[in-house]
Structure 1
Amino acid sequence: MTGAVVAAMLTTGLLLVVDGWRRARRPSLADRVVPYVRDVHPAAAEVPTGRLIEQLVGPTWRRLTRSIGESLGSNAAITRRLRRCASDDDVEDFRVRQATWGAIGLAIAVAVSLLAWSAAHPPVVALLLWCGAGLVGGCLACDQALSSQVRRHETRMRAEFPTIADLLALSVAAGESPVAAIERVSRVSHGALSLELGRVLADVRAGATVVDALDVLAARTGVLSVARFAEALAVAIDRGTPLIDVLHAQAADVRETARRELIESGGRREIAMMVPVVFLILPVTIAYTI
């Protein structure tokens, strides 16, 4: 194991030297331009001390994470899920975080393998498979964490939607325009759906129309009720139909859907409650009777 560690360190050092030599032969655009603009903009030539390690190993680490990420899932699906959970990260940031999780899983697997080797000397192939499983498990755990974040975000949006729709209806009934109503509701409320409304306002202020911003919200979100609400609101604004009736109808539909889902969940849990009754309580009762 000592020889393997020394060989791994030597190989890593050689790879870093080769990579640095290759990058030095082909300098980047910033390396070619900075010497000529140092007098005009001195801050352009400064290297932040806290990011020195990132600049040394950053390009190699990003290429490695990109190759690992493409083998574990498509970038389009990751982008769609990041948009659905209203995250500010991009695909590259997620890939870096995924590779970090994989490195942590690999480190834990290596530690367990060393303990197992010192205790029982298992086969080396099994230890290598265990280390590979730790690496893949860490990457998959990061992906599952993103999926869980998307589900929590959409659950909060689904729970907040009826109240937000009623507040929008009250604001429109008071005489405010749709944009002013959305701005007021997003300012006085806090939550996942108000964050999405804030993104709609940002798109409108950036130059998009209200209808286009609502269409983007309908395409971005994974909650069917919010997508229908955004589409209905866009159609109402485009065609001039009364917004108050549309908002109240959408809120009533979502409340009815939530009530139906609660009844269905209760029915499923009622069946699940039969498991401890049949397999635990009933055998104990029969054994006690016998």
Structure 2
Amino acid sequence: MNTLTAMAVFFGLLLGSGLWLVLVRMPFMRATPFTERIEPQLRSHNLESTLLRTAGHNITPFGPLERILRPLVEDGLHSLAKFNFGTTALTKRLAQAGSGKTALDFRAEQLLWAAIGFVLAVVLAFFNATAGRFNLVLALVSVVGATLGGFLFRDYMLGVQITRRERRMLAEFPSLAELMALAVGAGESAIGALDRVCRTANGELAKEFGLVLAATRAGKPLAEALQEFSARTELGALVRFVDGMVVAVERGTPLADVLRAQASDVRDTAKRELMESAGRKEIGMMVPLVFGVLPLTVVFAVYPGVAALNLGF
């Protein structure tokens, strides 16, 4: 395939994609949803002012281009939702990451990342074709692999975000637990201690405590709000903290002692993990020492004697 043929194929695909997109946007090509069919009859009953409506958020970062691609993206998202890729588990993972996005928004981002991988693979295949190194099988494998890789890489980044947030929460937990223990020891209630922590502290754990405090102010019992917080995280230290706090609130045991014990437990766990990490790194340092430094030391020690023997001969 020469350069002229490759350019003709590329621009032909571009023209075909544009014509197909225009055809899909035609009204007769799209099924009218039930909500759009009954909207003219219900419009007079909607007394909400248009000034109070919240602006719709964009799914993609392309701005005006999204108005053209939105129907296609929404149809694809609804088609994917029929296969049920674990929306409940995804919602829990988004809560663990501290993200305000819904599962549908995250799936849209995954599709966007997959589309970026697809475009990059197609551009690379086009440049290989213009250079005379086009291979159909390799091009198809690279396009499919890049598309699937972009889709899965977004999920991997979500896992990384969850891990980093959990580390920050564990690092903040001992100090916040001690602060709550001081507040409770000074005579404040559990809700008052949470309020003081939320007002004086910043961080991921303080935000979670703010959600617990907001739930209690909305009328939910403190034990139930704490159990919801425990369900949003999988950290053993925080789960034990919630269980101990719930038991202390329900049975009237001294809450300050429970908080201090939880903080001490987390600090001991952090010290143990630090020592284990140091032990693993100490073993890892043996590899460059044995295979790098030690052979070089032997060479420096043996080479002068070998050189002297050669000179003697």
| Structure 1 unaligned regions, length at least 5 | none
- 1:275 matched to 2:287? The reply is yes
Residue number among 265, 278, 297 corresponding to 1:266 in the alignment: 278
Aligned to 2:250: 238
- 1:215 matched to 2:227? The reply is yes
| Contact persistence 1:164–1:185 (CA under 8 A) | yes
Change in Cα spacing, 1:170 to 1:70, as seen in structure 2 (3 Å) is farther
Deviation at residue 8 of structure 1 after TM alignment: 5.5
Q: Aligned runs of 1:1-290 on 2, under 5 Å?
A: 1=6, 2-3=8-9, 5-7=11-13, 9-10=15-16, 13-14=19-20, 17-18=23-24, 20-21=26-27, 25-30=31-36, 32-34=38-40, 37=43, 43=50, 53-65=65-77, 67=79, 73-288=85-300, 289-290=302-303
Deviations 1:133-183 (Å, cap 9, x if unpaired)?
111111111111100100010000000000000000011111111111101
Amino acid at match of 2:173: F
Amino acid at match of 1:264: E
Deviations 1:32-81 (Å, cap 9, x if unpaired)?
3247536966739x9x8997654543243133245568879532332121
RMSD (Å) for aligned C-alpha atoms: 2.9
TM-score, scaled to structure 2: 0.82
| Contact persistence 2:23–2:29 (CA under 8 A) | no
Change in Cα spacing, 1:40 to 1:240, as seen in structure 2 (3 Å) is closer
SS at match of 1:257: helix
SS at match of 1:252: helix
Change in Cα spacing, 1:160 to 1:42, as seen in structure 2 (3 Å) is closer
Change in Cα spacing, 1:42 to 1:75, as seen in structure 2 (3 Å) is closer
Change in Cα spacing, 1:125 to 1:222, as seen in structure 2 (3 Å) is same
> Which is worse superposed, 126-135 or 51-60?
51-60
Change in Cα spacing, 1:34 to 1:54, as seen in structure 2 (3 Å) is farther
SS at match of 2:253: coil
TM-score, scaled to structure 1: 0.88
| Contact persistence 1:156–1:192 (CA under 8 A) | yes
Matches of 2:173 and 2:217 in 1, distance apart?
Answer: 23
> Which is worse superposed, 67-76 or 269-278?
67-76
Change in Cα spacing, 1:70 to 1:139, as seen in structure 2 (3 Å) is farther
| Contact persistence 2:24–2:30 (CA under 8 A) | no
| Structure 2 unaligned regions, length at least 5 | 1-5, 304-313
Deviation at residue 111 of structure 1 after TM alignment: 1.8
Deviation at residue 244 of structure 1 after TM alignment: 0.6
Deviation at residue 286 of structure 1 after TM alignment: 2.9
SS at match of 2:123: helix
Change in Cα spacing, 1:281 to 1:25, as seen in structure 2 (3 Å) is closer
Aligned length, in residue pairs: 288
SS at match of 2:131: helix
Matches of 1:77 and 1:248 in 2, distance apart?
Answer: 33
Identity of aligned residues (%): 36
